[in-house]
Structure 1
């Protein structure tokens, strides 16, 4: 059983062509192993994080926390940003402080606009407010409470602090 010379010659050329590939694989085998091990470690870590988040969701019942909120409202394009609402609150708060020196007609309009911005800011930050249902002194107390809640949530309202400072003097 004799092997044709052409087949031996073809196998020799194939061996010579593959020799650099074999040498490269031998020299880089540690890097290939490292990539495989790191990929497996990343996969395990991601799986562990997903499992931990799943356990926390079940423990806290995260779905029940957001059940009462319409989360699609946050995706609306016509919704004002919290930065814009805060700027409007500061401006209206400044007008509200100066109401005593302005016309009486401005007083209800400025307060209504200020209350509307307080409601919008409260919705954005998830703060409960009852400004629409109250009137008179009760509404003023609720306004101060909502301002305090917004301040505690990180929304600085210097005009509101100025009003309180004037009442304390």
Structure 2
């Protein structure tokens, strides 16, 4: 029985000496605290997303569904070529038709820019600035490998 009391007394003394050191180490070191904060922050984000999903309910659209609705880059390029022909041809006969074709053309330029990672500012400009931005974006898209006009040589960086 004396041995058990001696072991318990030794453990109590060790705990008494090392417990304040362990607490001080835990408080002073950033590692464990940062890890706990990161985990709590991730948990808060998951809870917020879960609440948002619950709030939106059936209105929420998954990213896979969004990708299914977006046309392929080949379809976007074909649309741009078709709209470009209309913009320079038949759309010159009517102001309303011309405005509609330009809106559709700008929309497809935005989609192509998003797909290829080309920065654009088409929705922020108007007038001559918008025309200049269209030409710039067309050049960037062609430089990225998108053939906007049939028979036009593609730019390739070697």
For 1:151, the equivalent position in structure 2 comes to: 142
Q: Any stretches of 5+ residues in structure 1 without a counterpart?
A: 1-71, 162-169
> In the alignment, is the contact (CA less than 8 A) between 2:83 and 2:101 conserved in 1?
yes
Does residue 139 (structure 1) correspond to residue 153 (structure 2)? The answer is no
Residue in structure 2 matched with residue 3 of structure 1 by the alignment = none
Q: CA deviation at 1:73?
A: 7.2
Whether the 8 Å CA contact 2:92–2:98 is kept in 1: the answer is: no
CA contact (8 A) 2:91 2:97 kept: no
TM-score by length of 2: 0.52
Paired residues of 2:122 and 2:133 also in contact (CA < 8 A): yes
In the superposition, the TM-score normalised over structure 1's length comes to 0.49
Larger radius of gyration: 1
Q: By how many angstroms is 1:74 displaced?
A: 9.6
1: distance between equivalents of 2:112 and 2:142?
11
Alpha-carbon distance in 1 for matches of 2:148, 2:65: 23
Alignment of 1:1-169 (within 5 A): 72=63, 76-99=67-90, 101-158=92-149
Cα 1:145–1:79 shift into 2, 3 Å: same
Higher RCO structure (Cα 8 Å, ≥6 apart) = 1
What is the alpha-carbon distance in structure 2 between the residues aligned to residue 125 and residue 80 of structure 1?
Answer: 13
- Segments of 5+ residues of structure 2 without an aligned counterpart are 1-62, 153-158
Pairwise CA RMSD of aligned residues? 2.1
Conservation of the 8 A alpha-carbon contact between 2:91 and 2:101: no
SS at match of 1:158: coil
Deviation at residue 120 of structure 1 after TM alignment: 0.2
Pairwise CA distance, 1:105:
1.4
Deviation at 1:81, TM superposition (A): 0.3
Question: How many residue pairs get matched?
Answer: 89
Q: Check whether the contact 2:83–2:105 (CA below 8 A) recurs between aligned residues.
A: yes
